[in-house]
Chain A
Amino acid sequence: MRYSGQMPSMLPPLAMTAFTATSAMGTGLEATRAALHARRGGLAPCDLPGMPEGIWVGRVPGLEEVVLPEALARYDCRNHRLAELGLRQDGFEQAVAEAAARHGATRVAVVMGTSTSGIAETELAYAGRDADGALPPGFDFAHTHDLYALPRYVRARLGLRGPAIAISTACTSGARSFLEAQSMIAAGLCDAVVVGGVDTLCRMTLHGFNSLELLSRAACRPCAADRDGISIGEAAGFALLVRAEDAPGGGVALLGAGASADGHHMSSPHPEGLGAVAAMRAALDAAGGGPVDYINLHGTGTRANDAMEGHAVRALFGDRVPCSSTKGWTGHTLGASGALEAVIAAICVADGLVPGCLGVETPDPGFGVDVAVENRQAPVRRVLSNSFGFGGSNCALVIGQA
């Protein structure tokens, strides 16, 4: 019984009244949607300086040209440029402004996930130390590298005055923002929450995963029998969550969220995926236990993660539910991945799409699950979206028709 009953109380579903994503496969929803349907991935050989040799990444084009509003210039760093670019898409700002007008700016919270925030600024500052080893005078830790900088930027940029929360649970950070939003609204702290995740390419992450020998030397191929590792990407994913009764009917909703911990190892998943099963089960229970039509896997492309996840999915669903990873399009966007993939799930629901893994000829037969390797058109009412991370952190979301 150790892995049952994680979250005894069910929280009400929340409508996703606006959402947007920016990643290597596209800036904004329409580009993302078009890339999914055309099976056009965004991974390419890494051309950023000072990175490990011979790797591929999912880089968002044009970040170098993004300019933050003058009043927020002190926040300038790659991570906040990506946040800014993402916030400009799909009428997201306007939707948030309408929620603030309706509920009051103090009643709209911001919950953002990130693994490394603006640490690239600190990497640059370390490279620019003076003879005494001091960091350059222009370096602003609190508004760039600090984890709180991301929700502070988003809150200020959107003119909100509700609470700001920075989540950093490694690669579950973006997904976890949805669960925290549910708790906050249920507890009466706010009426609407801007959730999401933003993470950007930085030397710490790329060299770190390289030290673990987990990086693929080509575009990652999650679920492939011969998969050989991760491609790291960068992304911003955002959603505006409100109570179902505060949203127009139809649309897409967060139906349930669940989390667990492995309590097993800092960087290796539990081999049988017990923590993953617990998180998926908690999310499914929270969503009222209905069937799901597609599982968007965490699916990083490493031998260990994908085998664990295949095992966990088989334990819960057998081979009855099609599943795939969309990281072949975007790379693993770390603390943004859960938010990015929640938005992809919303697209799949709207379009009746099961996106097949990119670049996979033979799915790993050891999984014993239905891995889609070509796009399928099918009714998709509910998507289960998985995120797992270092520290044994697990989070699963059920996104579906409201």
Chain B
Amino acid sequence: MRCGIAGVGLLGPGLPGWAASRAVLTGEAGWEPAPVVLAPPAALPPTERRRTSVAVRLALAVAAEAAADSGLPPEALETVFASSNGDGAVVGSILDALATPGGAISPTQFHNSVHNAAAGYWGIAVGSNRASVSLGGHDDSFPMGLMQAAAAVVARRVPVLFCCYDAPLAPPLDARRLTDTVFGMALVLVPEEAPVVLSVELADRAEAASAGALGPLMAGNPAARALPLLQTLAAGRAARIGLPLLDGGAVVLGVEPDLAPDGTPGAA
């Protein structure tokens, strides 16, 4: 499957946005983990804005950056949201309430506990009625989510906003599903020509791509398996990126930057 990458969004410790993180991603600057600042999504009505959690704010921030980067109207994009944990803080508070004698679930928390909460808030924020799907995938959330997003682009010839995000679960569940930090990324994938061509293929096996100095970050959050791809995009180079899957098989990404006639990367 081949599609174009028209926009990118990113947020993680020491990675404060796609444009602001390029030097760290290329290795020109060192990586210094710093807390991720997550503002309430300004595009939401005040009542909804107050209800957003870390996971939703993270997803909406990277989705908005990628959409803006693409120049396409955000409400015109179909969406694929992928996350291993979903909104772990909300699910955790419901589990706590259920385990407390007489504990009551808040109705708002219940509707925020669905795995497609971030997608729902995105639709409200940008006023979109485009089709949207939300996927789980444990440690395969990034490769399987990206594969489904590319499949939608290739099969139906529509632009798709792919958003992959994860935040830590609440205690005590966090001890059984280690997620060190928040990390989110988004891509706008398009069926037509774009500065960067992305291929997504299934393979029997592949060597796992390395994130170099960002390896610890990649190991601590399933969405951060996007880092080798993001590093490749930031460097403007071609690459093949292997993403082995939990139960065998692999997804292999190919990146082909826009090459000038002399073979060097084009528009920087």
Which residues of A are interface residues toward B (Cβ below 8 A)? Answer: 2-3, 6-9, 11, 106, 115, 117, 119, 122-123, 126-127, 129, 133-135, 139, 141-142, 146-149, 152, 155-156, 161-170, 176, 179-180, 182-184, 186-189, 203-204, 207-213, 258-267, 274-275, 278, 282, 389-393
B175-A9 in contact (CB<8A)? no
The residue of chain B having its C-beta at the shortest distance from the C-beta of A270 within the complex is B129
Interface 9-mer from B137-145, B181-189, B212-220: B137-145
A393-B151 in contact (CB<8A)? no
State whether the Cβ of B28 lies closer than 8 Å to any Cβ in chain A. Answer: no
The residue of chain B having its C-beta at the shortest distance from the C-beta of A203 within the complex is B98
A147-B202 in contact (CB<8A)? no
Smallest distance from the beta carbon of B96 to chain A beta carbons, Å?
Answer: 7
> Per-position contact with A for B195-210: 1 when CB-CB < 8 Å, else 0?
0000000101000000
A3-B133 in contact (CB<8A)? no
What's the dominant secondary structure at chain A's contact region?
mixed
* A169: contacting residue among B1, B105, B133, CB under 8 A: B133
Please indicate the chain B residues that have their CB under 8 angstroms from the CB of A161 in the complex: 248-249
What's the Cα separation between A6 and B78 when bound, in Å? 9
A148-B136 in contact (CB<8A)? yes
Smallest distance from the beta carbon of B92 to chain A beta carbons, Å?
Answer: 9
A211-B110 in contact (CB<8A)? yes
B120-A208 in contact (CB<8A)? no
> Per-position contact with A for B126-169: 1 when CB-CB < 8 Å, else 0?
11111111111110110010011011101111100000000000
A393-B135 in contact (CB<8A)? no
B98-A204 in contact (CB<8A)? yes
4 A-B pairs with least C-beta separation: A147-B136, A391-B120, A168-B115, A208-B110
A129-B99 in contact (CB<8A)? yes
> Per-position contact with A for B60-75: 1 when CB-CB < 8 Å, else 0?
0000000000000001
B248-A207 in contact (CB<8A)? no
Smallest distance from the beta carbon of A229 to chain B beta carbons, Å?
Answer: 14
For B, the interface residue count at a CB cutoff of 8 angstroms equals 67
* A392: contacting residue among B75, B120, B173, CB under 8 A: B120
Please indicate the chain B residues that have their CB under 8 angstroms from the CB of A278 in the complex: 129
Please indicate the chain A residues that have their CB under 8 angstroms from the CB of B104 in the complex: 211
- Return 23 A-B CB contacts under 8 Å, by A number: A7-B158, A106-B204, A123-B98, A123-B99, A126-B172, A133-B172, A146-B84, A148-B141, A152-B246, A162-B202, A166-B137, A169-B116, A169-B133, A183-B148, A260-B129, A261-B131, A262-B123, A263-B128, A264-B124, A266-B117, A390-B120, A391-B111, A391-B121
What's the Cα separation between A155 and B246 when bound, in Å? 12
B157-A8 in contact (CB<8A)? yes
Please indicate the chain A residues that have their CB under 8 angstroms from the CB of B107 in the complex: 208, 211-213, 267
> Per-position contact with A for B83-102: 1 when CB-CB < 8 Å, else 0?
01010000100111011000
What's the Cα separation between A392 and B1 when bound, in Å? 30
What's the Cα separation between A123 and B111 when bound, in Å? 18
